[in-house]
Structure 1
Amino acid sequence: MFIILLKFSANKAAAKDFMAGHNQWIANGFADGVFQCVGSLTPEGGGAILAIGESRGEVEKRVKADPFVINDVVTAEFIEVDVKKTAPGLDALKG
């Protein structure tokens, strides 16, 4: 499982120009079954994604295709978690 932190860069003001593409990129991640949840870093720090089912290289490649990453609106940080135990209903998070 991966926790992906998308932290705003100095180019944060450009986010509005790439929001539609970023939202489509998120929708594609859900449609592909990779993204399990997304949310905002508060206050106004960027976003976070919980991703499963791909290797680190595949996840990094996917994130590099995000219009926010391509256009330096955010920088990406990857945290890899080897999940050992989950609450009922969250077994998909286990590698």
Structure 2
Amino acid sequence: MFVLELTYTAPMERIDEALAQHVRWLKGHYAAGTFLASGRKVPREGGVILAAGQDRGAIEALVATDPFVRLGLAEYRVTEFLATVTAPALEAYRQQLPA
């Protein structure tokens, strides 16, 4: 499981201009089953995405395709964690500690 922390590196006007492209990108990854939750940080200086996956390299490649990143408007911090305890709704994503 991954926490993807997005930090804006451009003025908010440029973020808003690219927002529709970013939302389409998000929706595609929700449809693929990779993204579980996302939203804006408060204050609005970026966002956070909860992503399912086992391969850090694949997740890092995926965030590089975000229009915000491709347009030079934001950077990602990727944090991997083992979701060993979950809410019932996320039980399918529960992970085991390595032996």
Q: Which stretch shifts more, 25-34 or 14-23?
A: 14-23
2:50 paired residue number: 50
Q: Which stretch shifts more, 7-16 or 21-30?
A: 7-16
The separation in 1 between residues aligned to 2:45 and 2:2, in whole angstroms, is 19
2:28 is the counterpart of 1:35? no
Listed as ranges, the gaps of 5+ residues in structure 2 are none
Tell me the C-alpha RMSD between the 2 structures: 1.4
Q: Which stretch shifts more, 19-28 or 54-63?
A: 54-63
Q: Size of the alignment, in residue pairs?
A: 95
Greater relative contact order structure (CA < 8 Å, 6+ sep): 1
- Are residues 10 and 20 of structure 1, via their aligned partners in 2, closer, same or farther at CA, if it must alter by over 3 Å? closer
Structure with the greater alpha carbon radius of gyration:
2
The separation in 2 between residues aligned to 1:33 and 1:54, in whole angstroms, is 13
1:20 paired residue number: 20
TM-score by length of 1: 0.90
Partner secondary structure for residue 53 of structure 1? coil
2:88 is the counterpart of 1:63? no
- Are residues 21 and 39 of structure 1, via their aligned partners in 2, closer, same or farther at CA, if it must alter by over 3 Å? same
Letter in 1 for 2:92: A
Partner secondary structure for residue 59 of structure 2? helix
The separation in 2 between residues aligned to 1:74 and 1:62, in whole angstroms, is 14
